[in-house]
Structure 1
Amino acid sequence: VQKAGYEAPTPIQAQCWPLATAGRDMIAIASTGSGKTAGYLIPALSHVREVRKRALAEGRAVTGKEGAPVLVLAPTRELVKQIEHEAMKFGGSLGLRTAALYGGASRVGQVRHLLNYPHIIVATPGRLLDLAECGELNLTKVSYMVLDEADRMLDMGFEKDLLRISRYVPRARQTLFFSATWPQQVQRVALKFAVNDPVKVFIGKVSDRPVAALTITQLVKVVHQLEKLDELIEYIKSKPRGSRILVFVGQKYRCDWLAENLSDHPSYRDIRCCAIHGDRPQMEREFGIASFKSGRIPILIATDVASRGLDIPDVTAVVNFDMPTDAESYIHRIGRTGRGGKRGEAFSLMTKADSGIAKSIVNIIRESGQVPPEDLLQLSNSGSSSSGQQNRGRGVSGGRSEVSVRQTSSGFSGRRDGGGRDYNYRQDGGGSRDSYLDRRDGR
């Protein structure tokens, strides 16, 4: 843990570690970026060690045909790969093996990884169920089960798959259930999985919808559509050179267009950037994410395919070059910065076309203890307001055991500048999708 750079536990880790290590079932509600991955992985390693000790004492094997003792379920392959990376980082020194199972990759290759007898399996529900039902995966020895971003899995329609998976794992297991929100559906499913007198842990504000992390400073600027590129350039130039900046756009062709125009901008030609979206091959997307994570390419341009699951340390800022259509996506996007208790910044470029979500953004900023800028307030009053944020989050009560941890935040107001030069953009996206990610190198 110390080698990984951890100096002190985050609030969710401070609650998870003693409870999970003690073998308790747990339902934890915490915002994105709270450090929950380490919150359940560190106790998982301890759990595997205890299982191995008991097995050795009884003269039997721990893995192999008997199956892995730890199972982690996550909604997307990006998140699965990130959890796998963290598990390997923490468990490598202990000789523990991890296998990642997800769609969009070779099924045969993943089955081959299972033959290495992993101690920890990290999987998306669909691929896990596929391998379990065809007999390629044995889950009968799972004794430590984690559902990460459970609300997202339910949003994606995985409830039936999750319930089917529960039939393959022993009921006498320890379950850790993590969610960023606490609506009725999540409450109902949580109690179907965490059945052994679960402790409920609530970190920060708890509501029936996502809330922004208090570690993120939210800045918004209302501009004309043709001013966006110049505004993005100026924002990037205002940050220290090499800062990791994640830029979100609304459509796939916009990724390629922005990567090309950002690199070719006359006032700032040496921006190293790459673009990832759903039409990119999986290997190319993984290379782009790895280059961004290493700092080789400091600007990553992405559609919402990258908005969940990315856990890249020290992301300086998230930029909404194009606004999402709903408040939940906005919160998931900006949650890529300000993670693990570190400060981050979100900069959103809004136009008149975004008036429908403006009211929701105003509410999110206010709920974070910050002050929305005047031009955003005017935009929110100029068009139809989103209904997604009308219902305030309700406090949570009931259950068996509860732990509540509250965080505070300092206020920060938005800003507005003038200027900007007109830029036209091509509707065809400008540039081949097959060209290499690093536009500056021209490969």
Structure 2
Amino acid sequence: MVFVRLREILACAPTGSGKTVAFCLPLLAHLHQPTNKGFRALIISPTRELASQTHRELCKLSQGIGFRVHIIDKGAVAAKKYGPKSARKFDILVTTPNRLIYLLKQDPPAMDLSSVEWLVVDESDKLFEEGKTGFRDQLATIFLACTSPHIRRALFSATFALDVEQWCHLNLDNLVSISIGHRNSAADTVEQELLFVGTENGKLLAMRDLIKKGFMPPVLVFVQSIERARELFHELVYEGINVDVIHADRTQQQRDNVVSSFRSGKIWVLICTALLARGIDFKGINLVINYDFPTSAVEYIHRIGRTGRAGHKGKAITFFTEDDKPLLRSIANVIKQAGCPVPDYMIGFKKIHSKLRRKLEKKPPRRTTIRTTPRFLMKKGGSKQSRWVNK
């Protein structure tokens, strides 16, 4: 008998460098061919959009082999679809944590993970965040449900906080840590620029100036909240460009339609929150605009990582005001490390206390409403503006 000691993997590589292929190909090669054992591989993603993208790539890579790759759409429907017997018809499952937990908590559980040989956690630093945005408790439940003694666990991300690495060393067996390039760094294929706009009103002027000068679509614009995404959309919808907005308050069908339209070129400018900052691969994004300043260097890296992917060049412009000064130093350091110019005075700012930094990450500064349109036009029935008010 030959005993092979399995290694758990913690992998970090820049955005757009091919992490999805890096875990999909070994997974498919190891599974070799379809069986009737049930789900043998499980991939966890933080958002539905990223799960859909991974599912699509797996289907392409396994074409002609016969693997049955599935994604959970709705928990209630899946509870009937993935019963203990029917689950043996499938090989690979891609899902978000919440939908899988819903199935595991059914009585009896509507999902059997005892045959899972590969457990991949994509964008794992996001999944391990604590609080409302994290999935640490759900991941613990999923880990315990995967009971096969032959299971391999692999965690991938473009960034890693120290606490994630510490957790992995404490809870995973025989861990090997792999880093491509500098840890928590931006891709050097992105031309990065910081643009001082004075006040919140200056952001809209700067945005309209960029549109007036001309730009090459597609463009992603990041804001810090759903409400601000709506507000900016109402301002840009009359600028003569094809613009839309995506955020967590829109239905899944609306979000899927927007993503599809953006991929096909029907939408030139897409306004979004952090929902799309993780892992989503849009081909040929030419420009990322950080309308609202990122709350951390990690968030900044993921936002601008939507451009400059797979060796292609891209550009990122980040607006900042006086209110953003506390976080300016950390972003400037990321930009400088990537080889882009930044003023020396930004690097020289005093480093903020860790307690204040964590507070700013959880609660960004309050910003004035994005609006130049008179309020009565926003509410006037029958106008073009009113048709978009619920975007």
> TM class, shorter-chain normalised?
0.7 to 0.9
CA distance 1:385–1:379, shift in 2 (3 Å): same
Q: Match for residue 38 of structure 2?
A: 67
Q: Distance in 1 between matches of 2:375 and 2:351?
A: 28
- Indicate which of 78, 94, 101 corresponds to 1:110: 78
**Residue 153, structure 1, aligned to residue 124, structure 2:** no
Moved more, 323-332 or 138-147: 323-332
| Helix, strand or coil at the partner of 2:289 | strand
Report if the CA contact (8 A) 1:358-1:385 is conserved.
no
Report if the CA contact (8 A) 2:43-2:95 is conserved.
yes
**Residue 274, structure 1, aligned to residue 244, structure 2:** yes
1:47-58 map, 5 Å = 47-48=30-31, 50-52=32-34
Q: Match for residue 14 of structure 2?
A: 31
Report if the CA contact (8 A) 2:123-2:278 is conserved.
no
CA distance 1:132–1:335, shift in 2 (3 Å): same
Moved more, 219-228 or 138-147: 219-228
- TM-score, length of structure 1 as denominator length: 0.72
Q: Distance in 2 between matches of 1:378 and 1:205?
A: 21
% identical equivalent positions: 31
Shift of 1:94: 2.5
1:23-422 map, 5 Å = 25-48=8-31, 50-52=32-34, 62-63=35-36, 66-101=37-72, 106-111=74-79, 114=82, 115=86, 117-134=89-106, 135-155=109-129, 156-169=133-146, 170-191=148-169, 194-195=172-173, 197-206=174-183, 210-224=184-198, 225-236=200-211, 241=216, 243-265=217-239, 269=240, 271-373=241-343, 377=345, 386-387=352-353
Report if the CA contact (8 A) 1:27-1:194 is conserved.
no
Report if the CA contact (8 A) 1:253-1:429 is conserved.
no
> Partner letter of residue 201 of structure 1?
I
Deviation string, structure 1 residues 117-142 (Cα, Å, up to 9, x no partner): 33211122232233124221111111
Q: Distance in 2 between matches of 1:436 and 1:97?
A: 38
1:10-21 map, 5 Å = none
Q: Match for residue 418 of structure 1?
A: none
> Partner letter of residue 180 of structure 2?
I
CA distance 1:378–1:365, shift in 2 (3 Å): closer
How many residue pairs get matched?
Answer: 358
Deviation string, structure 1 residues 193-216 (Cα, Å, up to 9, x no partner): 652x4443210112xxx3322222
Q: Distance in 1 between matches of 2:169 and 2:296?
A: 28
Shift of 1:162: 1.9
Shift of 1:319: 0.2
| Helix, strand or coil at the partner of 1:93 | coil
| Helix, strand or coil at the partner of 2:57 | helix
Q: Distance in 2 between matches of 1:213 and 1:189?
A: 26
Shift of 1:245: 0.5
Deviation string, structure 1 residues 134-168 (Cα, Å, up to 9, x no partner): 22111111112211111111114433322222222
CA distance 1:264–1:149, shift in 2 (3 Å): same
Q: Match for residue 363 of structure 2?
A: none
Q: Distance in 1 between matches of 2:260 and 2:348?
A: 38
Deviation string, structure 1 residues 22-71 (Cα, Å, up to 9, x no partner): 986432122332210111112222223x254xxxxxxxxx23xx321111
Deviation string, structure 1 residues 61-83 (Cα, Å, up to 9, x no partner): x23xx321111112222221221
Shift of 1:339: 2.1
Deviation string, structure 1 residues 176-229 (Cα, Å, up to 9, x no partner): 22133444432233346652x4443210112xxx33222222111101332323
Shift of 1:434: 5.7
Q: Distance in 2 between matches of 1:142 and 1:338?
A: 35
Gaps of at least 5 residues in structure 2 are: 358-370, 379-384
Report if the CA contact (8 A) 2:10-2:175 is conserved.
yes
Report if the CA contact (8 A) 2:187-2:308 is conserved.
yes
| Helix, strand or coil at the partner of 2:128 | helix
Q: Distance in 1 between matches of 2:182 and 2:347?
A: 27
Gaps of at least 5 residues in structure 1 are: 1-21, 53-61, 392-422, 438-443
Report if the CA contact (8 A) 2:33-2:65 is conserved.
no
Report if the CA contact (8 A) 2:234-2:388 is conserved.
no
Q: Distance in 1 between matches of 2:204 and 2:218?
A: 18
Q: Match for residue 13 of structure 1?
A: none
Q: Distance in 2 between matches of 1:365 and 1:358?
A: 11
